[in-house]
Structure formats: structure tokens, C-alpha cells
Amino acid sequence: MIPADRIQLKDEIKDRRDEAATVKQCFTDFAFKGLLLTTAFFGFVSSFYPAGLSDDATSSEKESVCMRYFLVWLLCGVVILFLMRVLRIGFHKYSTANRNYGYVLHIDRTFDYEKGVTDKAYEEQVRSVGWEEGMCAWRIIQPIIFEEVYRLRTATERWVFPFYRCERKASESYQWWNTMHLMNTRRHDSNYIIQDSLPYRPGSYLEKTERLVHFLCIVIYTLYSFSYFFAMDCIHSGMLPRMNGLLFGVIYTTAWLCITCCFIVHIVKQRKFRHILESGLLSIQSCAVVWRLVIISHLAVVHPFDGYRGYTRRLAERAVVIRKHLMQIHELMMQNKWPTNKEPHP
């Protein structure tokens, strides 16, 4: 007869796998709907895009052409922002899937820890922590680790330098969250770090989807820019007598520059975020390590006999300890050997 705790654990793993598969399928549905929208958009533009004007065109016909250029420009901007948001949703879905798969990997590794790193009773206690209880601790500890690894700065600095997300690059550091670093860095006998160039293939579906969406966005952006310049030419040639050409031109140019900057920033940031999903802190293997840190932190600070009074603060203080000793987690926290004997206080 299978023990009840093993049945519960098996069901929990199945739930996590099912949820991961569901969110990935959800992104696939979003992506195909976005592609269908793009196809419909191109069909609409091909029939709506204004044709050339004859020399004897009336002022109303000229104004109609200018307004069509403006509407096409506006629709292009909306479709670009929509496609970029669909891709961002996809990254969020894959982040959720990696977190779930990392949890399953974390559970599998507890059976290996039983064989020599820690005692069996403790690992059974680790596996007994429920999913929602673990997620409560995850939402506190994981962002603190992420901020430390990728050095997020103030809101002002992120706005001024939107492309910059500096990962730790210290040559002496043990970057356990970076798969490429672990594969390609080895230490020579003279303590000299040697960099290899071994390949790593985390899967290409997300990368190909990202490239397709970015390609479509660039095509639409080209049409977007042409519509902008054609409309500006209409404004400068006086084809819009009913509007204040100067004011309209300033607003038009400002909007074009803002959308252009947002477009470039989103492309660069999404490419960097994809690398974090595939081989960085949000990858499956790194999520498994973070799950271990989360669960043992939870077990270290929870005091059932005293309720959960001060639990959140104690957990945050444990996260600060992890952040401070980020390079020694395998020697310390992963084996439940905390570098301080001082218990956090509420």
C-alpha cells in the first residue's frame, strides 16, 4: 500500500506539471491569435492604404488621403504595442512554467539529499511544505535574490538607462544561476579562470516565437514610419487646411518618437529577459535551487507554537542572509548551515 504522503506528493507534482503545460499552451494560443490579427491588419491596410493623388484633386480628396495616412500610422502603432505585449505575456507564462518545473526538480533532488547531505527526516519535512505555503515564501525571497543577481537600480536609473541590466560578472564569483557560466568556466591549477565556448541548447520555441514577433513588428514599424513621413509631407504642403499644421506636426512627431523609443527598448529588454528565462535565474535548474532556499528558509523561521506573528519579517531577514552569502549557498544554506547563529526577530 502506497503511503498517503507519497500519494499527496505525486498529486502535487502532477498538478504542477499540468499547470505548466496549461500556461505554455495559453501562450501558444495568444501567439497564434496575434499572428491572425497581424494577417488581418495587413489585409486591411492593403485595401485601405491611400493611393496617389492626381494634379487636379480637390482639397477634400487631399484631406482624405492625409487622414488615411494618419489612421494607418495610428493602427500600426497599436498593432506593434499589442504584439510586444503578447510576447511579454508569453515570457510571463514561461516564467510560471519554469517555476513549476523547478519545483518538481527541487522535490526530486530531496531524495538525493537524503543519501548523504542531510538526514531523511529533514528532507521529508521539506517535502511536506504545501504549495501555497511555499509560494508565500517564494514571493518574498525570490525577488530579493533576483534584485541582487541582476542589480536592479532605482526607477530613475531604469528610465534613463533602459537597456542596462547588469548581471554579476566578478571572475571569482560562483555564478550558480548562470548555466553558460557554469558550463564554460573552469579553474586552472594556478587559480586562473579559463573560459571555454561550449554550446547550450535550452530549447528554441520561445526564441523562434520572439524572432517572428520582432520581425513582424519591424515590418509594421517600416509601414508605420512611411505613413508618418507621408502624413508629415501632407501637413507641410498645406493639404490640411482645417487643422493647425504646426501644432499637429509637433504632436505627431512627439508621438512617433515616443513609440519608436518604446519599440526599441522593448526589443532589447525582451531579448535579455529571454536569456534569463533560458539560462539565468528564471531557468528551470536555477528555480530548483531557489526553491530549496525558499523551503529551508520557511522551515527555519516558522514557529507553529507561536503562530505566524512576525513570520514575514523573519523570512525577509533570512532572504537578506542569502543575498549576503549568495556565492556560498551550496556550502551553507543548501545544507541548512546558516552563517549566523542569531535568530531573526519579529
Please report the pLDDT score of residue 332 as a whole number.
Answer: 72
Mean pLDDT of 216-225: 84
Per DSSP, the three-state class of 229 is helix
Number of domains in the chain: 1
Mean pLDDT of the chain: 78
Cα distances (angstroms) measured from residue 186 to each of 94, 149, 172, 331? 30, 21, 11, 19
Measured at the alpha carbon of residue 288, what is the angle toward residues 205 and 147, in degrees to the nearest 5?
85
CA torsion 320-324-330-335 (nearest 10°) is -50
Please report the pLDDT score of residue 316 as a whole number.
Answer: 92
Mean pLDDT of 70-99: 86
Q: Is 333 a member of any domain?
A: no
Q: Which of 230-244, 253-267, 328-342 has the highest mean pLDDT?
A: 253-267
Global pTM reads 0.81
Residue of 84, 98, 73, 92 whose CA lies nearest to 16: 98
Task: Reduce the secondary structure of 44-86 to three states and give it as a string.
Answer: HHHHHCCCCCCCCCCHHHHHHHHHHHHHHHHHHHHHHHHHHHH
- Greater pLDDT, 100 or 192: 100
Q: Using one digit for the tens of pLDDT, what is the confidence trace for 298-324? A: 988 887 666 678 888 989 998 998 888
Q: Is 150 a member of any domain?
A: yes
Q: Is 183 a member of any domain?
A: no
Q: Is 23 a member of any domain?
A: yes
Q: Is 173 a member of any domain?
A: no
Q: Is 319 a member of any domain?
A: no
Instruction: Please determine, for residue 226, whether its predicted confidence score (pLDDT) is greater than 60.
Output: yes
Determine the structural domain holding residue 280 and report its residue range. Answer: 4-165+206-286
Mean pLDDT of 10-24: 90
Please report the pLDDT score of residue 246 as a whole number.
Answer: 63
Q: Is 240 a member of any domain?
A: yes
Mean pLDDT of 84-108: 92
Query: Are the C-beta atoms of residues 310 and 131 closer than 8 Å to each other?
Result: no
Please report the pLDDT score of residue 100 as a whole number.
Answer: 95
197: amino acid identity, one letter: S
Mean pLDDT of 19-38: 88
* Rounded distance between C-alpha atoms, residue 217 and residue 223, angstroms: 10
Q: Using one digit for the tens of pLDDT, what is the confidence trace for 137-186? A: 999 999 999 988 887 555 665 565 555 555 655 445 678 888 887 887 77
Instruction: Please determine, for residue 228, whether its predicted confidence score (pLDDT) is greater than 90.
Output: no
Q: Using one digit for the tens of pLDDT, what is the confidence trace for 250-278? A: 777 787 788 888 888 888 888 888 889 98
Mean pLDDT of 98-117: 86
Cα distances (angstroms) measured from residue 116 to each of 257, 335, 341? 60, 10, 23
Q: Is 190 a member of any domain?
A: no
